[in-house]
Chain A
Amino acid sequence: MQAAPELEAFRHEVRSWLDENLSDEFRNLGGDAGPADDRDWDARVVWEQRLGEAGWIGLGWPKDLGGRGASILEEVIFHEEYAKAGAPARVSFFGEGLLGPTIVNLGTPEQKAKFLPPILAAKEFWCQGYSEPDAGSDLAGVKTTAVLDGDEWVINGQKIWTTFAHHADWCFAVVRTDPEAPKHKGLSYLLVPMDQPGVEVRGIKTIVGTSEFNEVFFTDARTPTENIVGEVNDGWKVAMATLGFERGTAFLGQQLRFEEEMRHLLAEAQKRGRADDPVLRDRLADAYARLRIMRFNGERMLANLAAKGVLGPESSIGKLYWSSWHRALGELEVAVMGPDAMVVGPGYEPNEFQHYFLSSRAETIYAGSSEIQRNVIAERVLGLPREPAVASK
């Protein structure tokens, strides 16, 4: 465990940097902490580049790769202060949060040199090309293919639900490189440039009314042979590792945003006189209690990690817990608004509460749906038997 004074010094450093740099143009920009919201994108990119210049991107990455080598506790402090300051939602979830750590841990020296610096500077953005029309939860069913042609991979197929593909310079994609091999065995993990004739991005309008995610069509798209992470046909392992690298610390910042949202809701309920309704009052107190417990869960996970070096069972429930809580909060938000919730702003512009009511429905679907989370908890934490597999190919 790090000594408290050391951590306090770090906290002070974060706070004073934010104090000096978070000018009004950046404060209170739109966009929530979720990875699927691109309101005020351009301004958030400018801000992200400032973060990069000051060395706040890639906090936990090793120093020799341009990171800060920060401990988990330091990362937590950073995210706490960041959220408290009301700084903009981060734009580089896929690059900094997913692809970066994958390269740090599994990339070649050349890949590290080529891909990490632009992520650290917020000059290049990434998207995640996993899901396909026929491969969602069952990711190993991807059909997009890649075949070698000289010193290039040639890619054909379709990805879907690709968040921020329209902002992305690169896509990390799971593709099939051996159609004959069993499902999980014939996959590879390729890094594909988006700006080329063989890549077409078509926006998909979400229930919120905006288009943060897309269909991505690959038609003889190309990428050099060296743009593969891990071995050919060993991409399943890399794809899973990517999901495991997210340390979950960014989420603590998100919780502070939830606390902010909760405060807004309580204020709204009082303003509208809805807090006197006994049923709503009970639901508000319940939401508040569960939010506090969400934070206790997170702190307990970190304390046990610091003390024992391993994650306990409490770490497996995080995603299921927060996504369910936030979805229920969205329903409570429109209940508090009452009939006013039925009317949105001009141009289908939802207010804060309507926005969360709608956008939170995605949270129990992406990054492992709640059903998949329960399967994983039951099988990996509680050791219940796996379901008998249905023969498929």
Chain B
Amino acid sequence: MNFAFSEEQVALRETVAQFLEQKSPSAEVRRIMETTEGYDPEVWRQMGEQMGLQGLHIPEEYGGQGYTFVELGIVLEEMGKRLLCAPYFATVCLAANAVMNAGSDSQKKELLPGIASGETIATLAFTEPSGKWDADGIAMTYEPAGDGFALSGEKMFVIDGHNADLIVVVARKAGTSGTEGISFFTVAGDAAGLTRTALETMDMTRKQAKLEFSGVPAELLGEEGSGWAALSKTLDQAAVCLSSEMVGGSQEVLDMSVEYAKVRVQFGRPIGSFQAIKHKCADMLLETESAKSAAYYAAWAAAEDNEELPTVACLAKAYCSEAYFHCAAENIQIHGGIGFTWEHDAHLYFKRAKSSETYLGDATYHRELLAQRIGI
């Protein structure tokens, strides 16, 4: 593991940062978050056609750029910093990984090029109304139907579920429990029998949907019944990706706080000269830098696909999510009254931090996973 980024990686970061500075300034974030779709199709197209972002870590043989989770992490960090509103996380960090982990070679050839080019918006539907993030949360069952299968049941908290052209769904064989009998399926976004309802999310920068399936025709992705390993890996990778994103947000709220602490004057001096504020900022730096170290290491483990991935994925998710939320909360406190307004951006980060902390399971959940995985 080498923590120092290469010149090429530094250049990638700069290019993406510049792009997002133009395409995702606060005014755009606020415009887009008020829409139901929650993304700008034109920006999405440019991300695919001009920047190749959707295919960044997809192998070249499947139409991607052939980079790794390290480069993906860099891009996500910048997106987290700018709160980019786009179905990027759902498409690239959930669906593409699920297809790569579960699909057969011919399915990858069929599904990945569309994702890589930005043509296909995709997502992964695994959580249900129970809100459980583990295997027990998957109650939806599948049944054979004709040549294929049919799905019935309900999926919740599906990121960009209302936008997706392609939905990867996780369901279980009737009568199985736990990690047994789990399979992946693909379903078209406009499939018959599928009712999609966009949810009104507290974090308006990331949209979710409820998906109701009643006998929806579905194609098996990969092999029947043995999907748990692929799902577990997909969730680990998603935790790593989300950690990278959270690190970007954490740095941004730290910068906002420091900037404000230098210019806001009370009692005849900048509030940043008061230790109570200074020490908050110092702790935010400590947490943000440590979150970076954790996220970078985890991205490397994901890129190597090594045996450390399961432990460092949950370790990074636990630490980065608490760090981000703490920094985002302190940012409001440091701003005083203005930090509590809709007009100021502090709440956008605060809400994104909370939704990211909750999504995939909170820090306590991930520490329990860590405890199991290191054998406590």
Which A residues are within 8 Å of any B CB, using their own CB? 266, 269-270, 275, 281-282, 284-286, 288-290, 292-294, 296-297, 299-300, 303-304, 306-308, 313-314, 316-317, 320-321, 371, 373-375, 377-379, 381-388
- Interface flags for B1-44 (1: CB within 8 Å of A; 0: not) read 11110000000000000000000000000000000000000000
> In the complex, how many angstroms separate the beta carbon of A53 from the nearest chain B beta carbon?
36
Say yes or no: is B136 at the interface (Cβ < 8 Å to chain A). Answer: no
Q: Which residues of chain B have C-beta atoms less than 8 A from A377's C-beta?
A: 281-282, 285-286
Q: Which residue of B lies closest to A374 (CB)?
A: B282
Say yes or no: is B87 at the interface (Cβ < 8 Å to chain A). Answer: no
Report how many A-B pairs have Cβ atoms within 8 Å: 133
Say yes or no: is B57 at the interface (Cβ < 8 Å to chain A). Answer: no
Q: Which of A307, A308, A314 contacts B289 (CB 8 A)?
A: A314
| Chain B interface helix/strand/loop/mixed | helix
- Known: A307-B4, A378-B281. Is A314-B292 also a contact (CB below 8 A)? yes
Q: Which residues of chain B have C-beta atoms less than 8 A from A275's C-beta?
A: 371, 376
Interface size class on chain B is 35 or more
Q: List 6 A-B contacts (CB under 8 A).
A: A270-B376, A285-B368, A288-B374, A289-B319, A313-B285, A386-B273
Q: Are B4 and A269 in contact (CB under 8 A)?
A: no
Q: Are B376 and A384 in contact (CB under 8 A)?
A: no
Q: Which residue of B lies closest to A300 (CB)?
A: B3
> In the complex, how many angstroms separate the beta carbon of A322 from the nearest chain B beta carbon?
11
Q: Which residue of A lies closest to B296 (CB)?
A: A300
Interface residues of B in 269-296 (CB under 8 A from A): 269-270, 272-275, 277-279, 281-283, 285-286, 289-290, 292-294, 296
Q: Which residue of A lies closest to B269 (CB)?
A: A388
Q: Which residues of chain B have C-beta atoms less than 8 A from A371's C-beta?
A: 275, 279
Q: Are A383 and B258 in contact (CB under 8 A)?
A: yes
Q: Are B4 and A317 in contact (CB under 8 A)?
A: no
Q: Are B285 and A303 in contact (CB under 8 A)?
A: no
Q: Are B4 and A308 in contact (CB under 8 A)?
A: yes
Q: Which of A297, A375, A383 contacts B293 (CB 8 A)?
A: A297
Q: Are A321 and B286 in contact (CB under 8 A)?
A: yes
Assembled-state Cα–Cα distance A373/B275 (Å): 12
- Known: A289-B319, A293-B315, A297-B290. Is A304-B4 also a contact (CB below 8 A)? yes
- Known: A275-B376, A285-B371, A288-B374. Is A293-B294 also a contact (CB below 8 A)? yes
Q: Are A293 and B262 in contact (CB under 8 A)?
A: no
> In the complex, how many angstroms separate the beta carbon of B100 from the nearest chain A beta carbon?
26
> In the complex, how many angstroms separate the beta carbon of A296 from the nearest chain B beta carbon?
4
Q: Are B282 and A378 in contact (CB under 8 A)?
A: yes
> In the complex, how many angstroms separate the beta carbon of B259 from the nearest chain A beta carbon?
10
Given contacts A382-B285, A387-B274, 10 further A-B contacts (CB under 8 A): A282-B367, A290-B319, A294-B290, A303-B4, A304-B4, A374-B275, A374-B278, A385-B272, A385-B273, A388-B273
Residue among B4, B258, B289, B368 with the most chain A CB within 10 A? B289
- Known: A288-B370, A289-B315, A317-B289. Is A383-B275 also a contact (CB below 8 A)? no
Q: Which of B269, B289, B297, B364 contacts A313 (CB 8 A)?
A: B289
Say yes or no: is B328 at the interface (Cβ < 8 Å to chain A). Answer: no
> In the complex, how many angstroms separate the beta carbon of A40 from the nearest chain B beta carbon?
32
Q: Are B370 and A374 in contact (CB under 8 A)?
A: no
- Known: A293-B293, A296-B297, A375-B275. Is A303-B270 also a contact (CB below 8 A)? no
Q: Which residues of chain A have C-beta atoms less than 8 A from B376's C-beta?
A: 266, 269-270, 275, 281, 284-285, 288
Assembled-state Cα–Cα distance A383/B263 (Å): 12
Assembled-state Cα–Cα distance A281/B281 (Å): 30
> In the complex, how many angstroms separate the beta carbon of B251 from the nearest chain A beta carbon?
10
Q: Which residue of B lies closest to A299 (CB)?
A: B3
